[in-house]
A and B are shown apart, each in its own frame.
Chain A
Amino acid sequence: MSDNKSFEPKIIAFLCKWTTYAAADLCGVSRMPYPSNISIIKVNCTGEVTADMILTAFEKGADGILIGGCRPGHCRYEGGNLKGANRIYLLKRALNEFGVNPERIREVGIAGAQGLIFQRAAEKFTADIRALGPSPVMSNA
């Protein structure tokens, strides 16, 4: 898209309070800025992010959705993040059927102490979504 440079994507991030959310928090207290495009919703576990939550985010105009949980094998809730990952995997197939680029959802697993990694992941995802352009879902309204 030609006007991608002026396009500021809206990104909703569902972040697990035990890990990726803590990493984002750490960015804040350490003055490590990450793109203001990202709005964070704190969740107990990525396993509790429902299809309704993700699809509603798209419906309301999100251009990208970042899902940040524990690294695989490190979930506080015995695999809640893996269950969540299976859900996202299937949901991406549905998005594809609706013509929505599944790349608009990204999953990351970042430990609470890894502020720098969160900062980079946030920058990278924002840049990638900017390259993809605005989500066409809103135009459905």
Chain B
Amino acid sequence: MPNKKRLAFYAGSGCGGCSQSLMLSPSLATMLDGADIAFWATRSGDLTEDEISQLDDKGIDVLMFAGPVDGEASIATAKLLRRKAKRVVAYGACAHLGGLCGLTNVIPGAKLRELAERNGGFIKPLSAVIEVDYVLPGCPPPQGMVERMVKELFLADDVPDVGTVFASSKGVCAQCDRKHLNNPLEEIRRFHAAPPDPDICLLDQGYICLGPVTRGGCGAVCLEANRPCTGCAGPTAGVLDQGGAILQSLASLVPLSGDISGEKEHRVLDSIQDIVGTAYKYSAAASLLKRRVNDGE
């Protein structure tokens, strides 16, 4: 048996879903057999700066970092942890993209601004603060992706290439069984009014689905539950701005009416509601614009 790997899990804040997703991995026992746990902290209070400082630099082989990063305190902790770890995984949507928390960067509202300012900043993906070696996407990461990470990082002899994202390079559509009809987008439908046909592509039916612009590997479970993909695994390889990408796809699906004023097309596009919550649900903080600005109305 080679030297045991030292692993650590850290979630400074967050909902607890990431830590559970790892705990529920069927390979957990095997993973722990071959490893020492340096710490498994599920909130900032579990581990102080002092305690982290006392750890050896690069003494941790793999650090899994979950939860959002916002103000100075959490940035300082992230930087300190980076020094202690040879490899860092951005674990889950918050660390990968800012996650649902990132929406607070964009929502106008005095209360939120107050909160953000009190914490000295706005939500950032981990990669904006420290160098990230691997990404495990998802909110929380789906089992298949967790398994892949555990196998490649902890059970294999070789370490995966830096930059590996433990998900498919293809979109969610690749694992979706629905029939694709290439229908034009003539009307946006809200799926609560009546549930969609479970066998036909949601976009074909006029429901906004982020499947085409979102990394797959999740098994398209949401689609199987007759819900659209909401984009939790972030943009597909090569796309920078997930929200921009879906808006672009939606615009392209609207058929040209032939009327050069574009009035009919605009009517369809205007009926897309809550653009930020729909296109940037998990990725607002990782978007190219990053947060709401005040452009002097």
Contact = CB atoms under 8 A, between A and B. Distances in A.
B122 to A, nearest CB: 8
Contacts of A98: 106, 276, 287, 289, 291-293
Contact of B269 (A54, A89, A100): A89
A93 B262 CA distance: 16
A50 B276 CA distance: 18
A72 interface: yes
Contact of B293 (A50, A55, A132, A137): A137
A97 B292 CA distance: 7
B295 interface: yes
A98 B289 CA distance: 7
A35 interface: no
B210 to A, nearest CB: 14
Q: In this complex, which of A58, A83, A141 has the most chain B Cβ atoms within 10 angstroms of its Cβ? A: A83
Nearest to A59: B288
Nearest to B277: A97
Interface in B261-297: 262, 265-266, 269, 272, 275-276, 279-280, 287-297
A136 B240 CA distance: 20
A87 B252 contact: yes
Given A52-B240, A55-B289, A59-B289, A100 B295 contact: yes
Given A52-B244, A100-B289, A90 B250 contact: yes
Given A94-B276, A101-B296, A82 B262 contact: yes
A137 B241 contact: no
A99 B260 contact: no
A93 B275 contact: yes
A86 interface: yes
Interface string A110-141: 00000000000000000000001101110111
28 contacts: A51-B245, A51-B248, A52-B240, A55-B240, A58-B289, A79-B256, A82-B256, A82-B265, A83-B251, A86-B269, A87-B247, A89-B265, A90-B250, A90-B269, A91-B248, A91-B251, A94-B280, A98-B276, A98-B289, A99-B294, A101-B295, A104-B295, A136-B293, A136-B295, A137-B289, A137-B293, A139-B293, A140-B291
Interface of B: 106, 108, 239-241, 243-245, 247-248, 250-252, 254, 256, 260, 262, 265-266, 269, 272, 275-276, 279-280, 287-297
Given A58-B288, A98-B289, 15 more contacts: A1-B296, A52-B241, A52-B245, A82-B256, A83-B252, A86-B269, A89-B266, A90-B272, A94-B247, A98-B106, A98-B291, A135-B295, A140-B289, A140-B290, A141-B290
